[in-house]
Amino acid sequence: MIDRRTALAGVVAMFGAAAFAPLARAAGAGKASNIPVISEGPPSVAVFTPAQRALMTALSERILPTTDTPGAIAAGVPAFIEKMLADWARPTDRVPILAGLDAIEARSQQDYKVAGAQATAEQQDALLTLAMNGQLPSGGVFFEAFRQLVIAGYYTSEVGITQEREYLPVPGEYNGQFPYSQVNKVYSA
């Protein structure tokens, strides 16, 4: 079965030169002998305040919501994000994420009079759209880095590999006339 570092390297390759630095560091860590293996344990430091953690969790689910497949929360994306920021990010790498969460929280309080984590799904989508369009302080930088963390966390998780995609260690035989209408899911190997 594919390991998380290999899957992470594939996701980072998709982002190319614009990959968020902690993701690139973690994906390429196997190449340098002095860089430790990604541990399975909890983050080495607490990156978020409880309010930031709640908002980060809610926003990750808005980027990859539960549909007919599990969403970001079920895939453990919030824990992945905190682990990446705690163990693979430099303090300067954390700044856009923390500043973006604070800007979204402030805008939620201003516009909706509720904490961002308690805002409705539509309100959270509107807040993310403001960040994506650069209409919040540090919004554009935050959104791109946060989106990459959510996507990488999801598609390198067991849920992302086995339920969102169809995992076949060795895909079946080649059939050049396979009807497109019978294609179910994208394969990951």
Q: How many whole angstroms separate alpha carbon 189 and alpha carbon 187?
A: 7
- At 134-180, the pLDDT tens digits run 999 888 899 999 999 998 889 888 888 777 766 666 556 666 777 77
- At 10-31, the pLDDT tens digits run 666 656 556 666 666 666 654 5
Spell out the domain ranges in the chain: 4-30+50-166+184-188
Stretch among 53-67, 83-97, 99-113 having the lowest mean pLDDT: 83-97
pLDDT exceeds cutoff 60 at 37: no
Q: Which residue has the tokens 């308690």?
A: 118
**Predicted local distance difference test score (pLDDT) of residue 30:** 44
Q: What angle do CA 80, 119, 112 make, to 5 degrees?
A: 135
